[in-house]
Chain A
Amino acid sequence: MINFSEVYKRYPNNYEALSGLSFHLQEGEMAFLTGHSGAGKSTLLKLIALIERASHGQVIVNNQNLTRLPKRKIPYYRRQIGIVFQDHNLLQDRTVFDNVALPLIIAGEKHREIGRRVRAALDKVGLLGKERNLPIALSGGEQQRVGIARAVVNRPPILLADEPTGNLDPELSREIMQLFEQFKQVGTTVFIATHDMDLIQTLPYRQITLDSGRLAERGL
Chain B
Amino acid sequence: MSFFNFSLKNHLLRHLQVMLFSLGQLWRQPISSLMTIIVIGIALALPAGLYILLHNVDKVSGQWDDATQISLFIEKNTSSDRAYALNKELQKWPEIKETIYQSSSQSLEEFRQSSGLGALLDSLPSNPLPAVIIIHPAENNLREDAIGSLLARLESLPEVGLAQLDMEWLQRLRSLNKTAQRGITILGLLLSLSVLLIIGNTIRLAILNRESEIRVIKLVGGTDAFIRRPFLYTGFWYGLLGGMTAWMTILISMGLLNGPINELSKLYGSQFTLNWLAGSLFLTLPTIGLCLGILGAGLAVSRHLKAIEPQ
Contacts and interface: CB of A to CB of B under 8 A. Distances in A.
A50 to B, nearest CB: 9
Contacts of A75: 218, 221-224, 226
B209 to A, nearest CB: 10
Interface of A: 49, 51, 72, 75-79, 83, 89-91, 102-103, 106-108, 110, 150
Contacts of B222: 75, 106
Given A90-B216, A106-B221, 20 more contacts: A51-B309, A51-B310, A51-B311, A75-B221, A75-B222, A75-B223, A76-B221, A76-B223, A77-B221, A78-B218, A83-B220, A89-B216, A91-B212, A102-B220, A103-B221, A106-B223, A106-B226, A108-B10, A108-B14, A110-B10
B17 to A, nearest CB: 9
B213 A106 contact: no
Contacts of A49: 219, 310
A103 B10 CA distance: 17
B219 A89 contact: yes
B197 interface: no
B217 interface: yes
A72 B310 CA distance: 15
A162 to B, nearest CB: 12
Interface in B252-311: 309-311
Given A51-B311, A106-B226, A108-B14, A79 B219 contact: no
A89 B212 CA distance: 8
A55 to B, nearest CB: 17
Interface in B198-227: 212-213, 215-224, 226
A90 B220 CA distance: 12
A89 B221 CA distance: 14
Contacts of B219: 49, 51, 78, 83, 89
A106 B224 CA distance: 11
Contacts of B310: 49, 51
Contact of B221 (A72, A78, A91): A78
Interface of B: 10, 14, 212-213, 215-224, 226, 309-311
B178 to A, nearest CB: 50
A22 B223 CA distance: 31
A49 B220 CA distance: 10
Nearest to B11: A108
A79 B309 contact: no
A91 B220 CA distance: 12
A56 to B, nearest CB: 21
A63 B212 CA distance: 30
6 tightest A-B CB contacts, nearest first: A79-B221, A78-B221, A103-B220, A75-B223, A106-B222, A75-B221
A106 B213 CA distance: 13
Given A51-B309, A51-B310, A106 B220 contact: yes
A187 B311 CA distance: 28
B224 to A, nearest CB: 8
Interface centre among A75, A77, A110 (most CB of B within 10 A): A75
A78 B220 CA distance: 6
A51 B311 CA distance: 6
B10 A107 contact: no
Nearest to A90: B216
A148 to B, nearest CB: 13
Contacts of A90: 216
Interface centre among B216, B220, B223, B310 (most CB of A within 10 A): B220
Contacts of B10: 108, 110
Contacts of A77: 221
A102 B219 CA distance: 11
Given A91-B213, A106-B226, A79 B311 contact: no
A79 B220 contact: yes
Contacts of B309: 51
B133 to A, nearest CB: 77
Nearest to A150: B220
Given A75-B222, A75-B223, A106 B217 contact: yes
B287 to A, nearest CB: 30
16 contacts: A49-B310, A51-B309, A51-B310, A72-B224, A75-B218, A75-B221, A75-B223, A75-B224, A76-B221, A78-B218, A78-B221, A103-B221, A106-B222, A106-B226, A110-B10, A150-B220
Contacts of A103: 220-221
A91 B311 CA distance: 16
B288 to A, nearest CB: 33
A83 B311 CA distance: 13
B8 to A, nearest CB: 13
Contacts of B226: 75, 106
Contacts of B212: 89, 91
A75 B221 CA distance: 4
A79 B23 CA distance: 29
A150 B222 CA distance: 14
